[in-house]
Amino acid sequence: MSPIDERQRFVEGLGFAPDDFQVAALDAVDEGVDVLVSAPTGSGKTLVAQYAITCALAAGTRAFYTTPLKALSNQKYHELARLFGTARVGLLTGDTSINRSADVVVMTTEVLRNMLLTDSDQIRHLGLVVLDEVHYLQDPFRGGVWEEVLILTPSVVRFVALSATIGNAPFLGDWLREVRGPTTVIVELERPITLHDHLALVRRGQSSAEVIDLLDGTRLSDEARRIDNVMRSTRRFRPGPKWHGPKSSAPPPPFLAPRRSELLRALEREDLLPVIVFIFSRAACEDAVHQCRRDGLRFTNAEERREIEAIAESRLKVFRDDDLAALEYAEFLDALGRGLAPHHAGMVPAFREIVEACFERNLLGVVFATETLALGVNMPARSVALERFTKYSDAGRQSLTSAEFAQMTGRAGRRGLDDEGHAVVCFATDLSLVDVARVATAPPSDLHSSFRPTYNLTANLVNHFDFDTALDVVRRSFAQFEADRRPTGSRRPLTEQMVARHHVMDELGYAQGWMLTPSGQLLRAIYHECDLLIAEAVAEGVFDGLEPESLAGVLSAFTYEAKRASRTPHAGASVSTKKRRTIHDRLGPQRRDTMDERIREITLLSIATHEVEDRYHVPHAREPDGRFASVIAAWARGAPLGTVLDLADVEVGLTSPGDFVRQAKQVGDLCEQLARLHERSDVAEAAATARDLVLRSVVVAGTGVHPLTENWP
């Protein structure tokens, strides 16, 4: 079939006419050049990827579809399997492997990067890479992976890069042309569904909330401006820096923030459901659901409740009754049956996926979510509401940025279901509506690199290239591209950073000149923020002789990082030994002492490594933290979820089921990496067993795909 016929068949199969930006992107694919598409959330960027994959398959080559999140990879796997058939589509996410040799393989971006650095035979016959959510390259911890993939992928491979709207897409395109060759940049600023911005408030003396227009075009509406002026003129009569009387004597403000139930009733009256209400706190999301249940809200009928129960039961068949009790499943199901649900990282993945499935089927009226929902999960609604226009950050409470506002409100409006989407900002007495309007109408923000040479990357560059070529690879990064166009002296050259890390590796025995030692070869296979420290622990025998359960616990010292705002950050320090004994953690004092001893050895190695790094001005990785070791070890020894969560509360403070699952998955991933260290067969064997002990039950339930069944990668 000719390319023209392939294009015609693809377009006819859509059932609708592609938008202009999609047509331009399909033209670029036909021309055989790389394509960067920058367009709003929900605008249909994936259509371009689907066409590029169709063309790659027609040409007899393979296609990889990469995403930043395992959950998004799972979602894309199912989408592409429906389009191209399960026999032609595979999935690789580190803890999941399905049909790895398929013509189309969906994977997390790190998996592709690891393939490139290990000369995997999977790269042979590769003709296309789709980089979804390419704006992740500004992520401070993982963004460099996207640049490494773009630099290291063979030049014969074509790229389709999909990004949310960014302000400097042409600039990013200039860099892509420099490192990849001819590249067409497609920028679409218009949303596929018109967005209307609103304000929700309660007027003094009224018992119900109302929803008014916030904007008139790109300026404040007359009503919103009047409200802003009234609040500004009465501010000196309300408690604050200039108020000298008792709060009880202050006149009530003329406008108030709506209560959650009031907001939902107002949205229901205006036919603006279903809605995603963004709240920047997991606990507040749960509180919101409890409040709405207490207030008697219900957005479902009997038939919808039966369908909700069927969805939930089908996803939880592998859960034990005691696990469901620990997760308070009965309360969760009752809320779902009312059309109410939370969605945040503190929930186990299976519960989040139940919420997503119910919402996708239009069975829920409201989801109270943290902003993580806006970062990749495809879950559009008719409306999006922001309970507050500020959130806490390292610098204190800050207003939302235009990028954050656009990311969240991008979920408003369901293509094919809604003629328009609605963004609702909840009123607050300290809120400046002029500032809200400025953020809502601001142009998209620029994308910036977060690339830095790691020890792992440096080791792989030493292994693959001569010194000058390695320097050239680093110079080709987007970070260097940006730095070269800034005023001189704005940051330390990236090549100097790589050379400094090479000096550290040389001093610690991972390299001899520009050549890796056996320890350096081991470092090449460790992909982690603490890569050098983990390699040191392996080399010094810290993991030798450990049983699998204890090994899993010790490895958590590299993955566990306490939340900055933990409600009980050092709870374990004030809990008696007697209380610890009441938790049947299946560990015993000898096993605990062994783990504590090995973690102390890791801490000493960290101190010694830092001394060498200081000589070459290399920034330190974060410190190891062994406080979660007993929790992971207890889970690996088969303790039930309720026991493990109780133990976590004692050891590190209040821990949500979702936080535990995330920690366990990170340990499982590190176990998988150590299991591939064939030159250390004893450690590798224990790590493989530890991986299987950790990745069980709720930790792997709800992924919608099968657990790891093949060697990876």
Q: pLDDT, tens digit, for every residue of 298-315? A: 999 999 999 999 999 998
Q: How confident is the model at residue 489 (pLDDT cuts 50, 70, 90)?
A: low
pLDDT at 416: 77
In this structure, are 280 and 157 located in the same domain? no
In this structure, are 74 and 139 located in the same domain? yes
- The answer to whether residue 648 is domain-embedded is yes
- The answer to whether residue 483 is domain-embedded is no
CA distance 131 to 179: 15
**Does pLDDT of 120 surpass 70?**
yes
**Does pLDDT of 667 surpass 90?**
yes
In this structure, are 217 and 149 located in the same domain? no
CA 534 to chain centre: 24
Give the chain's mean pLDDT.
Answer: 88
Buried-exposed string 342-351: b where 16+ CB fall within 10 A, e elsewhere: bbbebbbbbb
pLDDT at 355: 94
Question: Kind of pairing, strands 396-399 and 97-98?
Answer: unpaired
pLDDT at 328: 93
**Does pLDDT of 571 surpass 50?**
no
In this structure, are 108 and 129 located in the same domain? yes
CA distance 192 to 218: 18
∠ CA 332-95-517 to the nearest 5 degrees? 145
**Does pLDDT of 442 surpass 50?**
yes
In this structure, are 359 and 271 located in the same domain? yes
In this structure, are 81 and 199 located in the same domain? no
- The last residue of one of the domains, among 148, 166, 187, is 187
Q: How confident is the model at residue 573 (pLDDT cuts 50, 70, 90)?
A: very low
| Beta strands across the sheet bearing 89-92 | 97-98, 89-92, 104-108, 62-67, 126-131, 158-163, 34-38, 183-187
Taking alpha carbons only, the member of 413, 276, 264 closest to residue 356 is: 276
- Write the CATH number for 672: 1.10.3380.30
- The answer to whether residue 482 is domain-embedded is no
The upper half-sphere exposure of residue 562, i.e. CA atoms within 13 Å in the direction of its Cβ, equals 22
pLDDT at 61: 96
**Does pLDDT of 359 surpass 90?**
yes
558 with 670: CB under 8 angstroms? yes
Out of 334-338, 398-402, 449-453, least confident range: 398-402
Residue 329 tokens read as 């499943």
- The last residue of one of the domains, among 394, 423, 440, is 440
Range 617-635 average pLDDT? 95
CA distance 440 to 434: 10
pLDDT at 103: 96
Burial of 167 (0-12, 13-18, 19+ CB in 10 A): middle
- The answer to whether residue 514 is domain-embedded is no
In this structure, are 277 and 414 located in the same domain? yes
In this structure, are 110 and 130 located in the same domain? yes
**Does pLDDT of 567 surpass 50?**
no
Range 453-467 average pLDDT? 94
**Does pLDDT of 436 surpass 70?**
yes
Range 626-653 average pLDDT? 94
**Does pLDDT of 493 surpass 60?**
yes
CA distance 340 to 302: 15
Residue-wise pLDDT tens digits, 420-429: 999 999 999 8
Give phi and psi for 238, each to the nearest 5. -115, 155
Range 216-235 average pLDDT? 89
Q: How confident is the model at residue 490 (pLDDT cuts 50, 70, 90)?
A: low
- The answer to whether residue 463 is domain-embedded is no
Residue 247 tokens read as 């709060």
- The last residue of one of the domains, among 440, 466, 489, is 440
pLDDT at 246: 59
216 with 430: CB under 8 angstroms? no
- The answer to whether residue 464 is domain-embedded is no
Taking alpha carbons only, the member of 90, 88, 87, 62 closest to residue 76 is: 90
Q: How confident is the model at residue 386 (pLDDT cuts 50, 70, 90)?
A: very high
- The answer to whether residue 358 is domain-embedded is yes
- What residue spans of 452-493 are helical by DSSP H? 455-464, 467-475, 478-483
Residue-wise pLDDT tens digits, 7-36: 889 998 888 889 999 999 999 999 999 999
- The residue segments making up the domain with residue 630 are 525-699
**Does pLDDT of 93 surpass 90?**
no
In this structure, are 145 and 216 located in the same domain? no
Structural domain tally of the chain? 3
In this structure, are 384 and 323 located in the same domain? yes
**Does pLDDT of 707 surpass 70?**
no
- Write the CATH number for 142: 3.40.50.300
In this structure, are 362 and 220 located in the same domain? yes
**Does pLDDT of 551 surpass 50?**
yes
Under 8 Å CB-to-CB from 692, ≥6 apart: which residues?
none
The upper half-sphere exposure of residue 248, i.e. CA atoms within 13 Å in the direction of its Cβ, equals 0
pLDDT at 91: 94
**Does pLDDT of 564 surpass 70?**
no
Q: How confident is the model at residue 713 (pLDDT cuts 50, 70, 90)?
A: very low
- The answer to whether residue 61 is domain-embedded is yes
In this structure, are 116 and 221 located in the same domain? no
**Does pLDDT of 475 surpass 90?**
yes
Bridge partners for 129 per DSSP: 64, 159
Q: How confident is the model at residue 570 (pLDDT cuts 50, 70, 90)?
A: very low
**Does pLDDT of 248 surpass 70?**
no
Give phi and psi for 422, each to the nearest 5. -135, 130
